Amino acid sequence: MARERFPLLRVWPEFCSSGIWAPPSPVSQQVGPMVDYDLLDLPPELAARFQAWQDKFDENVNPPDSPPDEWWTEFEREQVKLATALQAAVGGRVQYELGGRVWTVGQDGPDADFRYSDG
């Protein structure tokens, strides 16, 4: 039932959010409205992973102890893992945004999350 309501989801961090959004279309640069975990009936373990990931983002006001590039690389790896887990849990199309580009789970090939360039 939730997938009919949200045929497209995007995993993207934003302060004090769930990290899950419902963009208006697959090619939209807008993330759309935030989607709460309970609206998707997520397994508790997956909701907890999303919450921990968002908490890590929310707490990143001060630079972390590790080098910033290392911190962001690990954070982005978890974002891709969460997008993949979300798609496995709820089905449908799930996207994530990295490096100013939008990727779709299962459609962009292996390791697509780290093929983007910063330039």
Answer yes or no: is 32 within a domain.
yes
Answer yes or no: is 113 within a domain.
no
Answer yes or no: is 75 within a domain.
yes
Which residues of the chain fall short of a pLDDT of 50? Answer: 109-119
Residue 66's pLDDT is what? 64
Answer yes or no: is 110 within a domain.
no
pTM comes to: 0.82
Measured between alpha carbons, how far is residue 119 from residues 44, 66, 99, 116 in Å?
38, 23, 9, 9
Answer yes or no: is 55 within a domain.
yes
Residue 42's pLDDT is what? 94
Answer yes or no: is 87 within a domain.
yes
The torsion angles phi and psi of 102, rounded to 5 degrees, stand at -105, 130
Structural domain boundaries enclosing 100: 2-7+16-105
Answer yes or no: is 112 within a domain.
no
Residue 109's pLDDT is what? 44
Number of domains in the chain: 1
Answer yes or no: is 53 within a domain.
yes
Measured between alpha carbons, how far is residue 67 from residues 62, 63, 64, 73, 114 in Å?
12, 8, 7, 10, 18
